[in-house]
Chains A and B, each alone.
Chain A
Amino acid sequence: MAEDNSGEISFKKETVSKLLARFFKEDKTRLGGDAAVLMAEMLRIFVREAAVRSQKQAESEDCDQVDIEHFEKILPQLLLDF
């Protein structure tokens, strides 16, 4: 998927925009173009934050692999931050 010029792996604007549109309660609600670009960025930060925090959790437990329980431990605080 698209990588921006900073070399970051990011979500496609269309994917995010279709996904968000699916969850709107009213049919007439639309997502503006710039808002869609920002939301792709928000989702990237959310996922990156989830992954980095899980990795740190695995590190603190001296585990070589990041597993689901590491993610579960960081999940409550992650959700509070977003």
Chain B
Amino acid sequence: MTALVVIDFDASGIKQPARSAIAAATKLGGEVHGLVIGSGVGAIAEAAAKIPGLSKVLVADAPGYAHELAEPVAALLVALAPGYSHILQAATAAGKNALPRAAALLDVQVISDISGVVDADTFVRPIYAGNALATVKSADAKKVLTVRASSFDPVPAEGGSAAIEAVSVAPVEGKSKYLGSELSKSERPELTAAKIIISGGRGMQNGENFTKLLDPIADKLGAAVGASRAAVDAGFVPNDYQVGQTGKIVAPELYIAVGISGAIQHLAGMKDSKVIVAINKDEDAPIFQVADYGLVGDLFNILPELEKA
């Protein structure tokens, strides 16, 4: 039994969710290999080799693997699949895009966003926006899984010494072509890896208030800034700030919800946070039912006070 974990990375290096996926893979009880897919990814492969828990790092390095297009990535996973009992990746946008495609090509049902490993065939996953936890047992010979990063403590980044091996498979020519990206620039920690998150909702009223009121507090706390769907739809902040069932799933040490009512879909993305603070002027807002500390009042008075404190 050997598991293959696809490593998520970006320009700044290996992403924390990749190390959570490795943590999930180690719970299966077998050997764990990492897979780095991309173009010019030698440094990433070397960093991956240092992750404890990996006994081998495979590197698929070719221009055709740039931009993580689903077609070549899925074809590569299918080519490597005979050597593995489990194929995993964090439930990032890239993982959710490519792994179901690979699973279908292998004629297996993908198991998305697992939050627990019971045994090599049985997994726990949240359904209905996290309002129920399903334990499912797979009858498929091979398991293809995406991993809810916030449910597994990431393995350390350093301390291992895995062997690096180049993959000889040539990328398939797909019918899709990468045209370009528009990435949000931020100096702050990444939302899914941040220890503290401060999120704004519709109550923030506009994007300037995010910059004026939330950013200084985030900087002071070393926190990431998130948002509810209402704030994203209203155009206050870009959509990759969104926390919730359809946005990012986070579980920081501290989550501060400001001007967020607490709809089911938002709670789905943050209710596993260790400590939740709600700041809202409506004392009946559902967010107070999950908040450890609630402060009823006008955020426009409270936030400046918080910044000074």
Chain B associates with chain A:
no
